[in-house]
Amino acid sequence: MEADEALYDARARVLHDLCAAGCDNAHAVDLVDDALSRRRWWVEQWPEGAAYVAGLVAQDVQEAMLDVAGRCWPDCPRHDDDHELRVEPDLGADPRWVCEQDGSSVARLGHL
């Protein structure tokens, strides 16, 4: 996958999941675009890593949401307590949202 194609795909997938969680506001879109800017350099330095960029962008946005907005994203739909889903594998070609509490797979990235 070419770098630009991988970055556009990552953007679409993360924005879809932000929208599904009701977090699709201008600030969140800015966080996605900031993450994409940083990951563009990364993927240009390591073209073989293009297959992994979507999961990394999702992780970057997730961390930024917590650091900047003070909220976890995305919330786990499987449980009532307040915990988030995590992207797994950390560096893999088919990232999934996984419940951090019980380890179950909830959805593929871009399919919340």
Question: In which domain, by residue range, is 63 found?
Answer: 3-108
- The H-or-E segment that residue 6 falls in is helix 3-20
Residue whose structure tokens are 């499987």: 78
The tens digit of pLDDT for each residue in 43-70 reads: 999 999 999 999 999 999 999 998 877 7
Q: Percent of the chain, pLDDT > 70? A: 98
Is 72's pLDDT higher than 90? no
pLDDT tens digits, 9-35? 999 999 999 999 999 899 999 999 999
pLDDT at 95: 97
Mean confidence (pLDDT) of the chain: 92
Bridge partners for 98 per DSSP: 86, 105
Number of domains in the chain: 1
Q: What is the pTM of this model?
A: 0.93
Question: Above 80 in pLDDT, residue 1?
Answer: no
Give the per-residue pLDDT at 81: 80
Q: Among residues 7, 2, 10, which one has the least CA distance to residue 95?
A: 10
